């Protein structure tokens, strides 16, 4: 495990699939080609800032795990795989755009959100458009198994988001329920992308199931880290509005842990701060509380627990550069600052 | 044609498929079964008021056109057809819920919209959830041809809605562009539902294409009538907020015709009224203008033109109760008050 502990850049981690991954941004734009000027403008704007391309990278790495060398793959399967990987990024982007309406977020990837720049009506429709295109692309470039997996997952993601809204302001939300929500809204899609890559490249049902479990644990670790960064991150680096979970009433693990640690009296106080409108002050007060009580440390320990589970799921696979990348990626997401 | 001219109720028109159509509302709820209380509550609320069930009726009638008698259809194909028909209603409902966010509409089917009752965040997500479920249902119960047709159509609907937003407040919008927009946002889905019914029941490619053209012309006639009802309808009967197109800056055929009829000077005046915030007064002033100038009559004449074209497309089919229903439906939608 020693080599995993050193800081590795995302670029290094993506090395085994970098040639293919480089083509993802253009493929995303090709998938989203629209005769409509407005849609085209919004889409170019949104993708002018690259995200981490985690989902396409997972699909490509998932497929790469079963790579029997370049002789086995003709031009066509490679094109299909590239479209699949890109479609997952398109679907993910559609959910981000709708999320930003829900959270009234004003910054995404360092630039104003579509919701802020064009209004919710455009954000609703462009999100729908991207969702449609993702569906079509996966239908045409995947197979029946991959399409079924994706449709199942898309439903779960949405269910998770509705679940999250339903539990807004619920100070009795348990850690287990929180894990269930983030599993549905985040981890299942990450699991789907890596499993789809494996399925595409001929993984057995057992191998596909191991990849799914890897992705799910990886995703939970990823989301817990994200929720900690919502408190501890640097806005400039994180690229999102800080404290936005609290601002919209979403309880995440650091806060759930804080509520668990304090007595009833203090709990009421935390609730009052949580429900207050005090902006930056509110965020700073909560930040102090979750760090001083060790709630953040606890949350990050839980993230590491899930990341360990994720790595364990990879044990059944032979060693390969792609496998090493998946291992490094697990480490990367819990150590990241953005 | 004589018999078509008499007023026929929707129930009479649906008679050849009434047994199946009666099962649609429960099938819709079954498709949308959710473990999530909030989603369940919103969905039950939305479907507590039935719409006209136009889309499922079209699918069932489209299939019924090719019915070789009950001996040919086992229990399973019937169940699949019912799910397909219901899935189109689910998809349509998802678009309505997102539309109501976009238009900030406050009444739909005589009750407050989801957007008003639960806020845009719930409306975005429940719309997404319903869209996902429609996708899955059509994937599992349709076939590859029907799924491809549906995915293509869903993209077109969304493109049409973005196109409509882009042209908001554009006083130079031509009648042709208006027809293009309503074809994409409304007519293509109606065309898809009736074509899918035909494809499901074994229509030849030529027959499917004729059904598609029928549905498209029918859909244009339907939407022009809807746009006239936005001026001339009784809110109580129509079940929607009147004057909502003008309120959100959408130009429809009555207004486009009005602008075409008046001189430059008057055009500026109309624009000022259109852009004003004067509520009921504004709506009444525009109502007087579109009726007095004959703009409404012109629009309805165009609706009849498209409804005639729709009926002509049915000429290639042998006479049957289902065919008669489609013919009557064309008449019904342009004569309706809701």
Mutate to test the interface with B, among A36, A133, A144 (most CBs of B within 10 A): A36
Beta-carbon contacts below 8 Å between A and B: 112
Is the CB of residue B314 less than 8 Å from the CB of residue B326? yes
pLDDT at A197 over 80: yes
Which of A125, A133, A139 has its CB closest to that of B102?
A125
Give the integer Cα–Cα distance in Å for B128 and B134.
10
Map tokens 């678009």 to a residue: B95
The owner of tokens 């009234």 is A104
Does A75 score more than 70 pLDDT?
A: no
Report yes or no: A133 at the B interface, CB cutoff 8 Å.
yes
Write down the pLDDT at residue B97.
93
CB atoms A121 and B101 under 8 Å:
yes
Evaluate if residue B254 carries a pLDDT over 50. yes
Q: Which of B103, B122, B158 sits opposite A132 (nearest CB)?
A: B158
Residue A249's region, left for phi above 0, alpha for psi from -120 to 50, else beta, is left
What's the confidence (pLDDT) of residue B241? 65
Question: What pLDDT is recorded for position A236?
Answer: 63
CA atoms within a 13 Å half-sphere pointing along the CA-CB vector of B290: 28
Q: Is the pLDDT of residue B34 over 80?
A: yes
Is residue A256 less than 8 Å (CB to CB) from chain B?
A: no
pLDDT at B147: 97
Range scoring the smallest mean pLDDT among A109-113, B103-107, B157-161: B103-107
pLDDT tens for each residue of A144-166: 999 999 999 999 999 999 999 99
Q: Is B38 on the interface with A (CB under 8 A)?
A: yes
What is the helix (H) or strand (E) element at residue A112, kind and residue range? strand A111-112
Q: Does B244 touch chain A (CB under 8 A)?
A: no
Partners of residue A98 in chain B, C-beta under 8 Å: 124-125, 128
Mean pLDDT comparison of A34-38, B146-150, B238-242, highest-scoring range? B146-150
Considering chain B, what is the average pLDDT of its residues?
Answer: 90
Q: What is the mean pLDDT of chain A?
A: 90
Strand, coil or helix: B108 = strand
Taking only the tens place, the pLDDT of each residue in B292-319 is 999 999 999 999 999 999 999 999 999 9
In this prediction, residue B171 carries a pLDDT of 93
Taking CA atoms, B324 is separated from A13, A242, B148, B327, B336, in Å, by 65, 62, 29, 5, 18
Is the whole-model pTM more than 0.95?
Answer: no
Q: What is the mean pLDDT of residues B247-262?
A: 93
Which range has highest mean pLDDT (A183-197, B90-104, B247-261)?
A: A183-197
Q: Burial, B166: exposed, middle or buried (Cβ in 10 Å; 0-12, 13-18, 19+)?
A: middle
Half-sphere exposure of B311 (CA within 13 A, CB side): 19
Tokens of A296: 């953040």
Nearest Cα to Cα of residue B213 among B143, B63, B316: B316
User: Phi/psi class of residue A169: alpha, beta or left (left: φ > 0; alpha: ψ in -120 to 50)?
Assistant: left
All domains in chain B, ordered by first residue: 2-335 (1.10.600.10)
Q: What is the pLDDT of residue B2?
A: 44
Instruction: List pLDDT tens digits, range B270-298.
Output: 998 888 876 777 788 889 999 999 999 99
For A48-76, letters b (16+ CB in 10 Å) and e give: eeebebbbbbbbbbbbbbbbeeeeeeeee
Side-chain-facing half-sphere of A31: CA atoms under 13 Å: 34
Count of CB atoms situated within 10 Å of the CB of B7: 9
Residue B74 has pLDDT above 90, yes or no: no
Contacts of residue A80, Cβ cutoff 8 Å, sequence gap at least 6: A141, A142, A200
Note whether B131 contacts A128, CB cutoff 8 Å. Answer: yes
Confidence class of residue B73 from pLDDT cuts 50, 70 and 90? Answer: very low
Tokens standing for residue B220: 């244009």
* Residues of chain B contacting residue A133, judged by C-beta atoms under 8 Å apart: 155
- Chain B within 8 Å of A147 (Cβ-Cβ)? yes
Interface test with A, best of B32, B150, B165, B245 (most A CBs within 10 A): B165
Rounded to whole angstroms, what are the CA distances from A240 to A244, A251, B263? 8, 17, 51
Q: Which of B98, B139, B148 sits opposite A124 (nearest CB)?
A: B98
- Say if B181 is an interface residue toward chain A (CB within 8 Å): no
Q: Is B329 left (phi over 0), alpha (psi -120 to 50) or beta?
A: alpha
In this prediction, residue B176 carries a pLDDT of: 98
Alpha-helical regions (H) of chain B: 10-13, 18-22, 24-31, 37-46, 54-64, 75-102, 114-118, 120-141, 144-166, 175-182, 188-200, 205-232, 235-238, 244-247, 253-261, 264-275, 280-292, 295-313, 321-335
């Amino acid at each position: 495990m020693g080599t995993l502990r050193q800081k590795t850049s995302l670029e290094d981690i993506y090395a085994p699939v970098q040639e293919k991954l480089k083509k993802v941004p253009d493929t995303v734009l090709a998938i989203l080609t629209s005769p409509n000027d407005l849609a085209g403008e919004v889409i170019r704007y949104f993708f002018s800032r690259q995200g981490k391309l985690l989902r396409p990278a997972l699909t490509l790495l998932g497929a790469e795990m079963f790579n029997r060398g370049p002789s086995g793959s003709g031009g066509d399967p490679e094109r299909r795989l590239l479209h699949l990987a890109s479609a997952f990024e398109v679907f993910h982007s559609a959910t981000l755009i709708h999320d930003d309406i829900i959270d009234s977020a004003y910054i995404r990837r360092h630039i104003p959100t579509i919701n802020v720049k064009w209004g919710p009506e455009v954000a609703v429709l462009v999100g729908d458009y991207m969702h449609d295109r993702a569906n079509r692309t996966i239908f045409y470039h995947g197979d029946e198994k991959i399409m079924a997996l994706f449709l199942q997952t898309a439903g779960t993601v949405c269910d998770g988001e509705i679940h999250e809204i339903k539990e807004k302001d619920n100070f009795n939300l348990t850690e287990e329920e929180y894990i269930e929500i983030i599993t549905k809204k985040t981890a299942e899609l990450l699991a789907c992308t890596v499993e789809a890559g494996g399925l595409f490249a001929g993984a057995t049902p057992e191998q596909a199931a191991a990849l799914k479990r890897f992705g799910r644990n990886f995703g939970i670790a990823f989301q817990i880290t994200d929720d900690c960064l919502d408190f501890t991150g640097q806005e400039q680096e994180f690229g999102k509005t800080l404290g936005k979970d609290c601002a919209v009433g979403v309880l995440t693990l650091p806060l759930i842990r804080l509520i668990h640690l304090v007595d009833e009296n203090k709990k009421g106080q935390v609730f009052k701060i949580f429900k207050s409108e005090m902006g930056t002050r509110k965020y700073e007060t909560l930040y102090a509380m979750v760090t001083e009580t060790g709630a953040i440390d606890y949350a990050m320990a839980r993230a590491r627990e899930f990341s360990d589970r994720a790595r364990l799921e990879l044990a059944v696979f032979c060693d390969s550069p792609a496998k090493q990348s998946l291992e490094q990626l697990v480490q990367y997401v819990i150590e990241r600052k953005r």
